[in-house]
Amino acid sequence: MARDPGRVLIFDTTLRDGEQSPGASLNLDEKLAIAQQLARLRVDIIEAGFPFASPGDFDAVQTIARQVGRPDGPVICGLARATRGDIKACADAVAPAANQRIHTFLATSDIHLEHKLRKSRAEVLQIVPEMVAYARSLVDDVEFSCEDAGRSDPEFMYQVIEAAIAAGATTINIPDTVGYATPAEFGALISGIDAHVPSIGQAVISVHGHNDLGLAVANFLEAVKNGARQLECTINGIGERAGNASLEELVMALHVRRSYFNGYLGRAEDSSEPLTGIQTEEIYKTSRLVSNLTGMAVQPNKAIVGANAFAHESGIHQDGVLKNRLTYEIIDARTIGLSDNRISLGKLSGRSAVRARLEELGYQLEGEDLNDAFARFKELADRKREITDRDLEAIVRQNAQQIESYYQLAGVQVSCGRDLRATATVTLRTSDGEECSQAAIGTGPVDAVCQALNGLVQVPNELVEFSVKSVTEGIDAMGEVTIRLRQDGRLYSGHAADTDVVVAAAQAFVNALNRLVSGQKHSPLHPQRAPLPAPAL
Ligand SMILES: [Zn+2]
């Protein structure tokens, strides 16, 4: 039997695999805010990034290790290919954390060996123990992944796992990278490893999977029944293509159906001991934070965290719910941190009230950042009677976006209407103090604003997404705009919110342009190397 930590460990990869979603890229402050919230959610392991990929990735992992990797906090993990350079960089990046892990990987399928790595099976059997042992010489906690496990010859994979464990791997991860497995197949893959690797008792079996067929969560639950004790997942299920297994769905399935799963973990059926270490009341807050900072909206019908997940619109249901909540709801909304009676803030709310509410929402702002957020709060409170949590989130998100900005929007003016040509005049200020204005006409006010901004900035780009949604209800609601620009196949997103949708659009466009411009600049310390492509794991 594989090593049993006594419960199911939650390995969150929102900041590594999740961040690989097109257009989801996060800056350092945003990554740190998410990592701090993941610690409050009490995930067991945070995969903070791929340190060797770029200096920015290295810094992010190191900062998270320093600020979130407390002795009673989560294990901070970095990803590394099975090479000395990657593993050394990873060890250096996670070094400030009290609990450190290196996660290294190598393919075990013949397709990958022949076409990608150009290595023989014998070479793999030599590299894996060598690199795992090297990682173990730097940290005590080493995870090894068999990339493309699903298409590997099982006998060969068992040998590789045996060699990795002999060299010191403490966790063995089995990924379904392409999201092809069905639950029964995936369960059999895990039980095969449990049965055929003699030293598996020294390691925890982990699973990783993508949701191409919508089966990632189902596959993982089947893996738990067959001996897996670590689940690699992301908040809101974000990730490449159709995403990763969703943390909140896995955790709540194990929570709500505890009596079903208890037996597989060797517990009495009626045991009420939680199956994961997750603080479920932090789930909703974490979901909102990740959605806000990545700009990846959660679909309304998404399980657990979607806007409609707890709403009962139809008459019959409402009647049933009023009589007894459990008639139609299998989860009490408070379990995930959703309470229905919230006091909203207004014009007379002071700085400490705003700060306290922001902290509850997962944002810890100090000094200048808090001043900026409070100033924006006051400005909004003059225009809007009630400031909700969503409004506050929009304010903070806008602050975070402006930190690294080269261009600042100094003014927007539009004229539009029926029988009028939409005209916009915009003024930009650069961080060097220069100011310039431009006017343009367009098919509508937003188009005119974008034309004018493009005229000023003069960097080629293609607008691939423009979406507006209202943050809250009512005529004075803030409109939230998301814009995605494409240049050379890369996506850059910008968000902004304002009670004036045209101003929000202008600000979102400027935020996206800032990301595009800063993405082109290379650090003077590392001028040569372009970032590594994302690993296929
Ligand atoms: Zn993945």
Q: How many C-beta atoms surround the C-beta of residue 118 within 10 A?
A: 9
Question: How far, in Å, from the CA of 401 to the mean position of ligand 1?
Answer: 27
* Ion ligand 1 — residues with CB < 5 Å: 17, 537
Provide the pLDDT for residue 522: 37
pLDDT, residue 365, reads 84
pLDDT at 321: 57
Per-residue pLDDT at 316: 54
Query: How far away, in angstroms, is 159 Cα from ligand 1 center?
Result: 23
For residue 178, what pLDDT is reported? 86
Q: How confident is the model at residue 470 (pLDDT cuts 50, 70, 90)?
A: confident
Whole-number CA gyration radius for the chain: 25
Q: What is the pLDDT of residue 341?
A: 46
Distance from Cα 244 to the centre of ligand 1, integer Å: 6
Judge whether 253 and 264 are in contact, CB under 8 Å: no
Q: How far apart are CA 457 and CA 173, in angstroms?
A: 46
pLDDT mean over 243-254: 98
Sheet containing 462-470, strands listed edge to edge, beginning at the edge strand earlier in sequence: 462-470, 479-487, 490-498
Residue 329 in this model has a pLDDT that exceeds 80: no
Structure tokens at 421: 């040509």
Pairing between strand 490-498 and 479-487?
antiparallel
Position 524 scores a pLDDT of 34
Residue range 260-268: mean pLDDT, rounded: 96
DSSP strands (E only) in 405-444:
407-415, 422-430, 435-442
356 CA → ligand 1 middle, Å: 36
Q: Per residue in 272-294, is it b (16+ CB within 10 Å) or e — as a string?
A: eeebbbbbbebbbbbbbbbbbbb
- From the list 289, 328, 285, the residue with the least C-alpha distance to 309 is 328
Distance (Å) from CA 212 to ligand 1 centroid: 11
CB atoms under 10 Å from CB of 29, counted, come to: 17
Query: Quick one: which of 167, 194, 159 has its CA closest to 87?
Result: 167
Tokens standing for residue 454: 């493009």
Amino acid found at 193: I
Give the DSSP H/E element, type plus range, for residue 471.
none
DSSP 72: T
Ligand 1 center–CA 233 separation, angstroms: 9
Query: For residues 278 and 43, is the Cβ–Cβ distance under 8 A?
Result: yes
Write phi, then psi, for 206 (nearest 5 degrees).
-120, 155
Between the CA of 62 and the centroid of ligand 1 the distance, in Å, is 22
Distance 462 CA to ligand 1 centre (A): 28
- Give me ligand 1 centre to Cα 263, in Å: 29
pLDDT tens digits, 102-123:
999 999 999 999 998 899 999 9
**How distant is the alpha carbon of residue 444 from its chain centre?**
35
Please list the alpha-helical segments (H only) found in 139-175. 154-166
